[in-house]
């Protein structure tokens, strides 16, 4: 098991990590989310032994993080740090395998990362997406129990991203723990068994994507309204609807003439929809749906930010 117990790390007056307690378990694929400055990078640095906590403990399979890494139990793919130039893809992967205590065959590592066809290409001649695949190969060069990924699919095209996550799912199915930080929230929604949300260094939410969405406590309502002669509607009346948390109004057109498309987030969708009719509004194409993970993430962090002094 991998765990943080009341971990704090500060830089001057700023607490990048503030009393963080959590545990990661084998076979989980875990998304680490948070706005800029939430403490994600510092949390990963602490997990990888790149920094030491000011208070609390970080344990990786019962040992200090650096001991676990030396033992080959952790593989990491980070945004920071460049790749060695003037050597080939095969050479850098071969080096990583040679250094790992429980290395996989070089050909297997290259194939898993989709690098076989460019194995003889120099690293400094790679595209951004290809360089990301090399970093992934280095992270999976050996039989590690924990794989840590920081924005792993940045620069990858859609096909490469799909192949990457299929491989990560296989890693988790084999009992490994996969922890990844990402700004692509649709990836977290589709891939992660568990979602951890940080805010100002603290644990804001922890659960499945469905649980995070439910915790946000809002639903999406969208519909169209016929406007007046100029296609406009009374936006002030819409903003007065009960339980409204956000409102977007945009012009639309149809065979019936100009109109307006309205998108709402509401903490009580039934009450908001009923109020539309009480106001004498008659929505067309009314749809009510749950929030996506991205909308839930924004709602949770905005609510938390509103609590701060």
Q: If you average pLDDT over residues 104-111, what whole number do you get?
A: 96
**Per-residue pLDDT band at 71 (split at 50, 70, 90):** very high
For 204-259, how does the pLDDT look when each residue is reduced to its tens digit (9 = 90+)? 999 999 888 888 777 889 998 876 555 467 888 889 999 888 888 887 765 555 67
Asked if 47 and 60 count as a contact pair (C-beta separation under 8 A), the reply is yes
Domains (range + CATH), the chain: 2-214 (3.40.50.300), 218-290 (3.30.70.100)
Maximum Cα–Cα distance for the chain, whole Å? Answer: 74
**Per-residue pLDDT band at 295 (split at 50, 70, 90):** confident
Q: What percent of the chain has pLDDT over 90?
A: 55
Bridge partners of 10, per DSSP, are 15
- Per-chain mean pLDDT for the chain: 89
For 249-285, how does the pLDDT look when each residue is reduced to its tens digit (9 = 90+)? 887 765 555 678 899 888 888 889 889 888 888 888 8
Q: Would the pTM count as exceeding 0.85? A: no
Question: CA 34 to CA 28: how far, in whole Å?
Answer: 19
Is residue 307 predicted with pLDDT exceeding 80? no
User: Looking at residue 240, what DSSP letter applies?
Assistant: T
Question: CA 106 to CA 125: how far, in whole Å?
Answer: 21
Asked if 224 and 284 count as a contact pair (C-beta separation under 8 A), the reply is yes
- What is the reported pLDDT for 253? 60
φ/ψ of residue 282, rounded to 5:
-125, 90
**Per-residue pLDDT band at 81 (split at 50, 70, 90):** low
Bridge partners of 250, per DSSP, are 261
For 9-55, how does the pLDDT look when each residue is reduced to its tens digit (9 = 90+)? 999 999 999 999 999 999 999 999 998 889 999 999 999 999 999 99
Question: CA 186 to CA 83: how far, in whole Å?
Answer: 28
- What is the reported pLDDT for 232? 61
- What is the reported pLDDT for 260? 84
């Amino acid at each position: 098991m991998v765990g943080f117990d009341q971990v704090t790390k500060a830089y001057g007056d700023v607490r990048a990590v503030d009393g963080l307690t959590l545990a990661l378990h084998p076979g989980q694929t875990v998304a680490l989310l948070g706005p800029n400055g939430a403490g994600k990078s510092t949390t990963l640095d602490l997990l990888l032994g790149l920094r030491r906590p000011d208070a609390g403990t970080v344990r990786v399979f019962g040992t200090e993080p650096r001991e676990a890494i030396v033992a080959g139990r952790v593989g990491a793919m980070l945004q920071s740090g460049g790749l060695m130039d003037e050597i080939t893809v095969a050479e850098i992967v071969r080096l990583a395998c040679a250094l790992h205590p429980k290395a996989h065959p070089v050909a297997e590592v290259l194939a898993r990362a989709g690098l076989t066809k460019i194995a003889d290409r120099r690293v400094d001649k790679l595209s951004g997406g290809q360089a990301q695949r090399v970093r992934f190969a280095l992270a999976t060069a050996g039989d590690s129990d924990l794989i840590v990924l920081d924005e792993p699919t940045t620069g990858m095209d859609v096909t490469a991203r799909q192949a990457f996550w299929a491989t990560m799912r296989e890693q988790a199915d084999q009992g490994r723990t996969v922890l990844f930080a990402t700004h692509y929230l649709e990836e977290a929604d589709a891939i992660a068994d568990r979602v951890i949300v940080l805010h100002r260094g603290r644990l804001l939410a922890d659960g499945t994507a469905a649980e995070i969405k439910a915790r946000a406590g809002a639903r999406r309502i969208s519909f169209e309204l016929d406007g007046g002669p100029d296609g406009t509607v009374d936006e002030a009346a819409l903003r007065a609807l009960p339980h409204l948390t956000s409102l977007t109004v945009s012009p639309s057109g149809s065979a019936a003439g100009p109109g307006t498309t309205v998108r709402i987030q509401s903490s009580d969708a039934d009450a908001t929809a009923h109020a539309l009719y009480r106001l004498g509004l008659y929505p067309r194409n009314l749809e009510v749906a749950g929030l996506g993970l991205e909308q839930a993430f924004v709602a949770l962090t905005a609510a938390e930010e509103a609590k701060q002094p």
